[in-house]
Structure 1
Amino acid sequence: MKIIRAKEFKAQRAWGALDIANMNGITTRLHWTDEPYKWHINDGEEVFVVLDGCVEMRYKEQGLEKSTLLNVGDIFYASVGTEHVAHPQGEARILVIEVEGSV
């Protein structure tokens, strides 16, 4: 059993993570960041939940770049092949559920 106080978590570097669970190859991790990630495509599907802060999520659909602002409680689902990059607006804490070892 674990109790995690997400608002209290702060990593030593941007996108540092606290491993919460690995359920049959699907990982759940809490990330802290204050810097953008990099454009990437995950090895599988990804669920991205903003727990604290605000994140601009940029993504590509049919080669066109789009973006949306994600606030606390918002969820971004990246299906297989979705190219995307997260740009936090200040500090953010994000719950990410994805295939183990994914980018």
Structure 2
Amino acid sequence: MEIIRSKKFISDRSWGAKDIASMNGISTRLHWTKEPYKWHVNDGEEVFVVLDGKVEMFFKENGSEQSSILEAGDIFFASIGTEHVAHPLGEARILVIEKEGSV
């Protein structure tokens, strides 16, 4: 049993994470960041939940780059093959649920 105060979580580097759970090959991690990630495609599906802060999520759909601003409480679902990159607007805390070992 553990209670995690996500708004207080910080890492010594952007995209540093706290592993919360690993269940049947699916990992749940809390990330802290203030810098963009990198363009990537996950090995499976990904659920990306903004817990604190704002994130501009860039993604490619039908070969066209698009973006959307995600605020606290918003969820981005990346289906298999969705190329995407997260750009925090200041500090952000993000819950990511994805296949273990995914990029």
What TM-score comes out, normalization by structure 1 length? 0.99
Q: Which residue of 2 aligns with 1:16?
A: 16
Report 1:79-94 matches (<5 A).
79-94=79-94
Structure 1 SS opposite 2:7: helix
Whole-Å separation in 1 of the counterparts to 2:11 and 2:62? 35
Alignment pair present for 1:34 and 2:42: no
- Equivalent residue runs for 1:53-72 within 5 Å: 53-72=53-72
Q: Secondary structure at the match of 1:40?
A: coil
Q: Which amino acid aligns with 2:25?
A: G
CA distance in structure 1 between the partners assigned to 2:93 and 2:7 by the alignment: 7
CA distance in 2, matches of 1:80, 1:11: 28
* Aligned counterpart, 1:75: 75
Q: In the aligned structure 2, how far is the partner of 1:100 from the partner of 1:86? A: 19
C-alpha root-mean-square deviation of aligned residues, in Å?
0.3
Identity %: 75
With structure 2 as the length reference, what TM-score do the two structures score?
0.99
Aligned residues: 103
Q: Return structure 1 stretches of 4+ with deviation > 6 angstroms.
A: none
